[in-house]
A and B are shown apart, each in its own frame.
Chain A
């Protein structure tokens, strides 16, 4: 078993990422009205298949987030004009001719080349990757990024404070009668009494929010994942440390709340402007508690990301892309591995989403 594990490790080490063409299968249907008397011509059948391919593409892109859909819409005419390149293969599942209405419909399972679509999106919107030698420092728009992860270190919960006011009102009324017998030997005394009591209660309840303290860390793997996404898209990235940002101040601010203090923010903006770094991406990733995944039985950790990108070019910093409270889940054999997987997933996907927003705004 030990030998096996070592060999698996060795296998992992020698994995080489190669350029891949991802293909997904998506179904689509197409329908045309044919002109002939009995059945559609070959050209008309082909037209229905083309419609089905377009439908398959539309169904595939329906899962895109809004920013990505907007980016896709920009290149859609180019894709539809070269449909066979983006949908290189298909299997016809069914066809139907409705003679009274002269309608010919077809259902296909299309193979969509998602890598080609991704390349087309990058080419149309992202900064193009140029040879280093052709870029002068003055032309380069650098992007500094600071991703911090935080998890709950302590939580101080306050009991509910209840103020109660009690007002009691009461009144007694009655009559007392004395009766002496005629012979004067005995006497009777009777007392009729009725009482009314009214109680009025009131008050207020004060609930105080828990005081939360976070343990904040920077994670090299997260930095690498974000760097990878941004660099592949052609952005010139600068790590927070290299940009001389005061990382400890950010960590301190994020350890007690969701906002960066004014001095920390002002200092960061000043430093980045001095270094002619135009864009600043800051994000905090809240690591949730580990729990058991119902399907696999593995440990699951959810990381929630809040992030924004600020453009520092103008007189005042301007937020040009943001993500608020987006959750990402990671699985692992133990909480540590699950947390790492969740952080990597969150970093990669949130960076991609921010990237789509930048592309949509034409930020290069």
Chain B
């Protein structure tokens, strides 16, 4: 395989330009229950309880889980679930890697006392889990090369096992772009996915290492934010990859996760997971021991609506040697209190990136990565505007900061 172009993209990287690395972020919620009563941890309980740090709140580690329909795990995560099949008496590949990382990096969680033992009734009901939320492989064929985009979504979740609610979450979104002259085989795709999630130097665990420090217990008065609605306009569709054109709702989820990842990375707010089905505010997790637990995503204090109006390209300059195209992303961002419809921020945002196309280039331009960079730039601009707006900063962001 002649891989001539491989990019791993960090979704929390503020630079809107294509670069060499990638990864992501997290989110949060409210510490409401007053009762440290009956906590049931589904897994990772075969480790002896480690020493406790009495100054920091205890949080038990619950391991790795797949999000969504338990019986559809093999359908929704075809590559990862296959990698994750362990021997009868062994944990799966991702579970083993995840547990190994958290045990080795326990000290990085400086604001909590991460425990790997069996929770007793009097212990905290709070647990930390890494959940996989998305696995997408987007192959595309151009006239003389084959492109491969792999997108993996994760959520580092703080869960309340007593109340069965999501306390908060930090989304992690990693992406790998590769190209070759020949089509990518299933084995080659699986090999790349494995590399994205195996070992401390992998994209996933590099991202996780950055987020450990920010994990803490949300205070009783701290508020939550949630990306509640994403609208993908018709003018955006022509620029999307084929898979997304067929399923704009799936793209809307990716947009929500990318925005959430950037927002938590830049503003450190307590974010609740995006509810794909809108009214259906549940998150179902299948843990490594095959137990399935439904968690309720509580109503957020504040909501964010993203209206992706569309993308646009304009020829800026053209010479005999090359053409300079400007690709723009156009958004509407609304931050509001959903119950009483009190709007704190509502503004259009646009961002453009340039793309030079040499006259010698025979093939068409692969526009999706370019508009994705423009979208990311628009997200960063929007988040900066939200943070700069005194009203939104004081009344929303400050109240949601962890």
Complex Cα–Cα for A12 and B294 (A): 18
Task: Using known A-B contacts A4-B45, A93-B223, A107-B337, determine if residue A15 contacts B121 with beta carbons closer than 8 Å.
Answer: yes
Does residue B282 face the partner (Cβ distance < 8 Å to A)?
yes
CB pair B32–A11 under 8 Å, yes or no, is: no
CB pair A296–B292 under 8 Å, yes or no, is: yes
Task: Using known A-B contacts A12-B40, A25-B32, A333-B292, determine if residue A4 contacts B70 with beta carbons closer than 8 Å.
Answer: no
CB pair A91–B223 under 8 Å, yes or no, is: yes
CB pair A15–B38 under 8 Å, yes or no, is: yes
Does residue A5 face the partner (Cβ distance < 8 Å to B)?
yes
Complex Cα–Cα for A298 and B69 (A): 7
Does residue A171 face the partner (Cβ distance < 8 Å to B)?
no
Assign chain A's interface to a size class. Answer: 35 or more
Q: Which residues of B sit under 8 angstroms from A18, Cβ to Cβ?
A: 35, 37-38, 121-122
Complex Cα–Cα for A230 and B304 (A): 45
The listed residue with most B CB atoms (<10 A of its CB), out of A3, A14, A296, A298, is: A296
Complex Cα–Cα for A295 and B293 (A): 11
Select from chain B the residue with minimum beta-carbon distance to A331. B294
Task: Using known A-B contacts A8-B40, A14-B120, A91-B221, determine if residue A3 contacts B34 with beta carbons closer than 8 Å.
Answer: no
Complex Cα–Cα for A333 and B71 (A): 10
Complex Cα–Cα for A262 and B88 (A): 59
Select from chain B the residue with minimum beta-carbon distance to A91. B221
Q: Which B residues from 62 to 103 make CB contacts under 8 A with A?
A: 68-72, 88-89, 91
What 1/0 flags go to B288-314 for Cβ under 8 Å of A? 010110100010011000000000000
Total residue contacts A-B, CB cutoff 8 A:
116
Does residue A292 face the partner (Cβ distance < 8 Å to B)?
yes
Does residue A182 face the partner (Cβ distance < 8 Å to B)?
no
Does residue B119 face the partner (Cβ distance < 8 Å to A)?
yes
CB pair A94–B37 under 8 Å, yes or no, is: no
How many residues belonging to B are interface residues under a CB distance threshold of 8 Å? 47
Q: Which residues of A sit under 8 angstroms from B235, Cβ to Cβ?
A: none
Q: Which residues of A sit under 8 angstroms from B71, Cβ to Cβ?
A: 292, 297-298
Task: Using known A-B contacts A5-B289, A12-B40, A107-B342, determine if residue A297 contacts B337 with beta carbons closer than 8 Å.
Answer: no
The listed residue with most B CB atoms (<10 A of its CB), out of A22, A91, A111, is: A91
CB pair A16–B301 under 8 Å, yes or no, is: no
Q: Which residues of B sit under 8 angstroms from A7, Cβ to Cβ?
A: 45-46, 118
| Nearest chain A CB to B383 CB, angstrom units | 20
CB pair B301–A298 under 8 Å, yes or no, is: no
Q: Which residues of A sit under 8 angstroms from B118, Cβ to Cβ?
A: 7, 10-11
Q: Which residues of A sit under 8 angstroms from B45, Cβ to Cβ?
A: 4, 7-8, 11
Q: Which residues of B sit under 8 angstroms from A5, Cβ to Cβ?
A: 289
Pick the contact of A93 from B40, B42, B72, B395 — CB < 8 Å?
A: B395
CB pair A297–B68 under 8 Å, yes or no, is: yes
| Nearest chain A CB to B62 CB, angstrom units | 12
Task: Using known A-B contacts A29-B340, A94-B395, A109-B301, determine if residue A20 contacts B34 with beta carbons closer than 8 Å.
Answer: yes
Select from chain B the residue with minimum beta-carbon distance to A21. B34
Does residue B33 face the partner (Cβ distance < 8 Å to A)?
yes
Complex Cα–Cα for A208 and B31 (A): 58
Q: Which B residues from 107 to 152 make CB contacts under 8 A with A?
A: 118-122
Pick the contact of B337 from A15, A20, A93, A331 — CB < 8 Å?
A: A93
| Nearest chain B CB to A137 CB, angstrom units | 36
Does residue A89 face the partner (Cβ distance < 8 Å to B)?
yes
CB pair A91–B37 under 8 Å, yes or no, is: no
CB pair B291–A8 under 8 Å, yes or no, is: yes
CB pair A25–B30 under 8 Å, yes or no, is: yes
Complex Cα–Cα for A89 and B43 (A): 35
What 1/0 flags go to A66-101 for Cβ under 8 Å of B? 000000000000000000000001010110000000
Q: Which residues of A sit under 8 angstroms from B41, Cβ to Cβ?
A: 8, 11
Q: Which residues of A sit under 8 angstroms from B43, Cβ to Cβ?
A: 4
Pick the contact of A296 from B122, B284, B339, B342 — CB < 8 Å?
A: B284
Does residue B185 face the partner (Cβ distance < 8 Å to A)?
no
CB pair B119–A11 under 8 Å, yes or no, is: yes
Complex Cα–Cα for A144 and B321 (A): 93
| Nearest chain B CB to A160 CB, angstrom units | 38
Q: Which B residues from 341 to 372 make CB contacts under 8 A with A?
A: 342, 344
Q: Which A residues from 267 to 298 make CB contacts under 8 A with B?
A: 292, 294-298
Task: Using known A-B contacts A5-B289, A24-B32, determine if residue A296 contacts B282 with beta carbons closer than 8 Å.
Answer: yes
Complex Cα–Cα for A253 and B337 (A): 55
CB pair A295–B34 under 8 Å, yes or no, is: no
Does residue B220 face the partner (Cβ distance < 8 Å to A)?
yes
Does residue B194 face the partner (Cβ distance < 8 Å to A)?
no
Select from chain A the residue with minimum beta-carbon distance to B76. A297
Select from chain A the residue with minimum beta-carbon distance to B38. A15
Does residue A27 face the partner (Cβ distance < 8 Å to B)?
yes
Select from chain B the residue with minimum beta-carbon distance to A59. B339
Does residue A17 face the partner (Cβ distance < 8 Å to B)?
yes
| Nearest chain A CB to B47 CB, angstrom units | 10
Q: Which residues of B sit under 8 angstroms from A3, Cβ to Cβ?
A: 46
Pick the contact of B35 from A20, A89, A297, A331 — CB < 8 Å?
A: A20
What 1/0 flags go to A215-251 for Cβ under 8 Å of B? 0000000000000000000000000000000000000
Does residue A47 face the partner (Cβ distance < 8 Å to B)?
no
Does residue A1 face the partner (Cβ distance < 8 Å to B)?
yes
Q: Which residues of B sit under 8 angstroms from A17, Cβ to Cβ?
A: 37-38
Does residue B216 face the partner (Cβ distance < 8 Å to A)?
no
Does residue B399 face the partner (Cβ distance < 8 Å to A)?
yes
Task: Using known A-B contacts A1-B289, A296-B284, A296-B292, determine if residue A21 contacts B35 with beta carbons closer than 8 Å.
Answer: yes
Q: Which residues of A sit under 8 angstroms from B291, Cβ to Cβ?
A: 8
Complex Cα–Cα for A4 and B288 (A): 10
CB pair A4–B282 under 8 Å, yes or no, is: no
Complex Cα–Cα for A58 and B35 (A): 25
A-B contact pairs, 14 of them (CB 8 A): A7-B45, A7-B46, A15-B38, A15-B40, A22-B35, A25-B30, A93-B223, A93-B337, A93-B395, A93-B399, A94-B342, A107-B340, A296-B284, A297-B70
B binding-site residues for A, Cβ under 8 Å: 30, 32-35, 37-38, 40-43, 45-46, 68-72, 88-89, 91, 118-122, 220-221, 223, 277, 280, 282, 284, 289, 291-292, 294, 298, 301-302, 337, 339-340, 342, 344, 395, 399
Apart from A14-B120, A331-B294: 16 A-B pairs, beta carbons within 8 A: A8-B41, A8-B291, A21-B35, A22-B34, A23-B33, A27-B301, A27-B340, A29-B340, A91-B399, A93-B223, A93-B302, A94-B395, A109-B301, A297-B69, A298-B284, A333-B292
